Amino acid sequence: MEFIVRDWLETDLVKIKELLQITWLDAYTFIPHKDLLCYLENNYNEKKFHETFLDKNNFGFVVESNNQIVAYLRNHINEEEKRFYVTSLYVLPSYQGFGLGNLLLNKAEEIAKRLEYYEIWLGVMSENTKSINWYKKKGFHFVEELPFQMCSTIVQHLIGFKEIQ
């Protein structure tokens, strides 16, 4: 199977939203579907997602296989906190296990280093133990827990970082 990593394009936004819906419904079984779909529509509607795309502090990437987007990464620089974040890293369930998460995490590290950031920060829902365990294997340390609201559902969100060389 061949995989191509490339910068996101404005024309990718609809397909990325579809990928998010599939991966969220698969991974976030502890959140009611109606709240997942509500959050997706409120935060990834055409206008808001387009604004995210245009924001100079966001860097998006997709992985393609057979002209289909199968994974997505978005990084964000928070200028106030002086932090480099991985805000989204999602791989379609049928493409997990092919190393695409590693590929995208390496891409995030490459960009962070180029921009002279030496830590990568992220948040993971505390009930998403599969992802938490994966991030811990990659060297992330979780140092804070905060509530995160997806429409009418509130879940705990672990905040962590990884030092990069």
Average pLDDT over residues 79-86: 96
Backbone phi, psi, residue 32, to 5°: -55, 140
Q: pLDDT value at position 46? A: 92
Task: List the domains of the chain with CATH numbers.
Answer: 4-117 (3.40.630.30)
pLDDT in tens, 109-142: 999 999 999 999 999 999 999 999 999 999 999 9
Q: Give me the chain's average pLDDT, please.
A: 96
Binning pLDDT at 50, 70 and 90, where does residue 165 land? confident
